[in-house]
A and B are shown apart, each in its own frame.
Chain A
Amino acid sequence: MKDLAIIETILRNRTFFFMEIRDGIDLPQKMRAMLVSSLIFFALFGAVMGSTHSLWQAMSSAVKLPVLFLATLFICAPTLYFFNILFGSSQSLTQNVTLILTAITVTAVLLLSFAPIILFFLLTTSQYQFFKLLNVAIFSISGWMGILFLSHGMRIVAADGASDESARRWVLRAWMFLYAFVGSQLAWTIRPFIGAPSIPFELFRQLGGNFYTNIFASFGEIFGFIIVQ
C-alpha cells in the first residue's frame, strides 16, 4: 500500500512531483512505486476486460495488459531520450523513463477508475463490438490524460533554459504519435484482450488486418453496414 501513495502525489502535487524528477530526487524509489502501482491497476483492468470471455482470457489479459504498456515504454523511451538530447536537453534517461512512467501510471489509475463501468456493461450486455469500442474509448481517454501529464512534466523538467523550447515541444508531439502508434500496433499483435464470443480462448490470435481497420469494421457492424471479418 506504501507504493500506492505515489498516486496521490502525482495527482494532487504534480508540480512538486515533476520538480523532484527535475532535481533527480528519489528517482529509483519513484520508478519502483509507479511500476508496482501501474502493474496492479493494469492487471485488474485486464482481468475485468477478459472476464467477458472466459477465466483463461481474464488471466491472460491480466498479464498481457501490463506487458503491453511496459513494452511500449521500453520501445519508445530511447527515441524520446535521444531526440531530447539532440535538441539540447540535459535530462538523463532515468528522468525520461520516470516521466513516461508517470504518464503510464496516470493512465493506469484512470483505467482502474473506469473498471466499475466496464464491469457494469459486462454484466448488462454481451454485444461484443459495443464492448470492444467502449474499451477503446476508455483507453483513448485514459491514454490521452496520461500524455497530457507527460507533456506537463516535460515542460517542468526541461525548464532549464538549455534546450530549445519550440523544438522540444515538437519532439514531444511527434513522440506522442509514435507512442500511440506503437502501442496500438503492439496491442493488435498480442491480442485478444477481450476475446471474441464463438471463438475458443486463444493466447494470441493469428496476425492479419490492423487495429484501425478493425475499429472501423466494429463501427460498421454496430451501425449495420459491414460484417467484421
Chain B
Amino acid sequence: MSDNQKSTTDQILDLLLDALAERQAARQPEPPVAEDQMETAVANSVAEIAEAAEQGENNEPNTLEAVADAVLAEPPLENLQPAEWEPEAEEIPAIIPEKLPSIHLEKMLYQLSAALFVLIILINIPLNRFGTNLARAMPDEQSIVVRDGLVFKGSGDEIYILEDGKKRWISSIDAFDYFGYRWSQVALVDDGFLEQFEDGRPIHVLLKCNTSPHVYVLEDGAKRWIDTITTFQIEGFVWEDVKIVNCNELRRLPDGLPIPEDAGDPPQP
C-alpha cells in the first residue's frame, strides 16, 4: 500500500471516530451499552469502512464523507440492548452539570417580600372610626358559618344567638352588652333561615349577690326584682342563668318595676 492509500484509511478512521464520539456525547443520558457489545460494534464498523474504502479505490470516486455517512446511516449501535436499564435512572445525570450563572433571584425575592409586607400593612390600616379597612372593604355577601355562638337577626328587631341547634333570643340590650356581643358580629339573615331553628331559652341577665336571697333581672339598665320562685319559673327563667355579682354593684343599679308589676316595693339585695 502506498502512503497516499494509508492516509486515506487513516482519514476514514478518524472521521469514524469523530462521528462515534459525537454520537456518544449525544447519548450521554441514555443507558450504558454493554462493553463487549460496544467493542464488537466498533470492530464491525471499522471493517465495513475499510471494505467501503477499497471499493471506492477500485470503482467510482467516493468521497471520504460519503463513505463514512454510508456506514453510519444504519449504525449497528441502534440495535444494541441497554445493560440493566431502569427508567428512573435517566434523571440522575452521570456528569455534574455546570452551575448556571446567577440571575440574582434573591434581589427579586427581597423586593417582592418587602412589597408584600408594605401592602399587608396598608390594607390593614383602618380607614374610618368603625375600623373598616381595604382588606375588608368589600360589602358583598359574606358566608355565615353556622355554629354555636353565631349571632344573627332577621327582618325584625330580635337578635338571636345559636346554641345547640336552637336560636336563643337575646332579651335586652343589657343582655347583649353583658355577654360581650358586638354589633359587627350580628349577621343579617333571611326570615326563612331564622325559622329553620327551634326556639331555645331566651337569654336574660339574672343577677343575685351572695348575701341576699333575691334575684333580679336586668332590663333597660335597671334591676327588676322577681318576687317568688313561682314567678321565676313561670317567666321561664332557669337557675343556671343566674349570675352572682358583687352586692354593692347590684345595689347601685336603679330599681325597675318588679315582676310581677303588682308585687310591691322591691327589697334591696
- Chain A residues at the B interface, C-beta cutoff of 8 Å: 1-2, 4-5, 7-8, 11-13, 15-16, 19, 37, 40-41, 44, 47-48, 51-55, 58, 109, 112-113, 115-116, 119, 122-129, 152, 155-156, 159, 165, 169, 196-200, 221, 227-229
Contact = CB atoms under 8 A, between A and B. Distances in A.
Interface in B117-145: 117, 119-120, 123-124, 134-145
Given A8-B103, A126-B136, A200-B185, A155 B145 contact: no
Given A126-B138, A197-B142, A152 B91 contact: yes
Given A7-B105, A41-B113, A51-B123, A228 B136 contact: no
Interface in B175-219: 182, 185, 187
Interface residues of B, number: 46
A155 B104 CA distance: 28
Contacts of A54: 136
B141 A127 contact: yes
Shortest 6 CB-CB contacts between residues of A and residues of B: A4-B106, A8-B105, A128-B143, A197-B142, A196-B145, A126-B138
Interface stretch (B51-59, B94-102, B244-252, B256-264): B94-102
B238 interface: no
B146 interface: yes
B88 A155 contact: yes
Q: DSSP majority for the A interface?
A: helix
A7 B108 CA distance: 11
Interface of B: 86, 88, 91-93, 96-97, 99-100, 102-107, 109-110, 112-113, 116-117, 119-120, 123-124, 134-147, 149-152, 182, 185, 187
A7 B149 contact: no
A16 B110 contact: no
Contacts of A169: 88
A125 B135 contact: no
B205 to A, nearest CB: 20
Nearest to A152: B91
Contacts of B144: 197-198
Contact of A51 (B96, B124, B140, B143): B124
Contacts of B99: 13, 16
